[in-house]
Amino acid sequence: MKTKCPECGSDELVRDIPMSQAVEAGYAGLQYKTALLLSGTEPLLSDLCTQCGTVVRLHVKNPERKWETKN
């Protein structure tokens, strides 16, 4: 099943576009815990509608990680 843009209804989507950030900002993405009590950053990917420019979805490639939360 193809996902459609919620704004214009188009199914012309480019998937898994990596998000970028300014060099000074460090890493952009979601933090996760590693085995050595360190943390890593999983990059965010986006799906974009090429008809109207709406970012349809933000997601990560590896959702099974042990995510860091504030709780």
Establish if 33 belongs to a structural domain. yes
Establish if 71 belongs to a structural domain. no
| Per-residue pLDDT tens digits for 24-45 | 766 678 888 888 778 888 889 9
CA distances from residue 38 to 1, 8, 31, 61 in whole angstroms, order as listed: 39, 43, 10, 20
Please state, in angstroms and rounded to a whole number, the distance separating the CA atoms of residues 11 and 26. 33
CA angle 25, 29, 33 (to 5 degrees): 110
Establish if 49 belongs to a structural domain. yes
Domain tally for the chain? 1
Is the distance from CB of 60 to CB of 32 less than 8 angstroms?
Answer: no
pTM of the model: 0.74
Establish if 17 belongs to a structural domain. yes
What average pLDDT does the structure give for the chain?
87
Segments forming the whole domain that contains residue 23: 13-59
Q: Is 70 left (phi over 0), alpha (psi -120 to 50) or beta?
A: alpha
Mean pLDDT of 41-63: 94
Establish if 3 belongs to a structural domain. no
